[in-house]
A and B are shown apart, each in its own frame.
Chain A
Amino acid sequence: GAGVSQSPRYKVAKRGQDVALRCDPISGHVSLFWYQQALGQGPEFLTYFQNEAQLDKSGLPSDRFFAERPEGSVSTLKIQRTQQEDSAVYLCASSLEVGKYNSPLHFGNGTRLTVT
């Protein structure tokens, strides 16, 4: 596709439920990022993939958060046993190979997660 695609656009989960958020990056982009954006704040780094390798997961808030990109393309961010503090917009971004080139991030529209 022409841009980064995320689904679902909105997700409402009851506290304790598991959720899975999908990201389809721009074709050919090696680098894929997940960011969390709380209301009125800037995006906060969660995790980074280079192809299928997860090179940095230092931003994941707890072990309830898990991300994967098994074939180096589509990625899924999974949150287990959701808590109210997990409510935020989850942004996926892809880029040419960061670390090697300075290239901008291309963001998806995000998934707005509301935990009730």
Chain B
Amino acid sequence: GENVEQHPSTLSVQEGDSAVIKCTYSDSASNYFPWYKQELGKRPQLIIDIRSNVGEKKDQRIAVTLNKTAKHFSLHITETQPEDSAVYFCAASSTGGFKTIFGAGTRLFVKA
């Protein structure tokens, strides 16, 4: 079945450094790739998404890249701040499908 693998499971960086989280997906029909941030005890919230007709998208300090051939997509956070500390989930879905499949999450710690 559909599967989304996410690495690393835990990431610790110094404030101001960059953080990169990588995901792979199995369903070649996937064409929509959202990223969610979940703070402790709170709901997952969308931070950025990318569609398969685009290779890269940027929003201030956050960027996402997509390699459809390799079925890889990545989240890049630059100039990390302590408030970036949270769990980040990648996900994949397809037009015509219903499910959004989530990765297992990456717990990001940003040390001040």
Q: When the two chains form the complex, which single residue of B43, B99, B105 contacts A108, counting CB atoms closer than 8 Å?
A: B43
Cβ–Cβ contact A41 & B100, under 8 A:
no
How big is chain B's contact interface, by range? 20 to 34
Instruction: Give CA–CA (A45, B102) in the complex, Å.
Output: 9
Pair A98/B98 contact, Cβ less than 8 Å: yes
Partner of A99, one of B34, B36, B96, B102: B96
B42 to chain A, nearest CB (A): 7
* Interface size class of chain A, counting residues whose CB lies under 8 Å from the partner chain: 20 to 34
Residues of chain B from 58 to 112 with CB closer than 8 A to chain A in the complex:
89, 93, 95-105
| B104/A42 in contact, CB under 8 A | yes
Question: What's the Cα separation between A48 and B98 when bound, in Å?
Answer: 7
CA distance A109 to B6 in the complex (A): 23
> Is there an interface contact between A104 and B101, defined as CB atoms closer than 8 Å?
no
Query: B: which residues have CB within 8 A of A?
Result: 6, 31-32, 34, 36, 42-46, 49, 51, 89, 93, 95-105
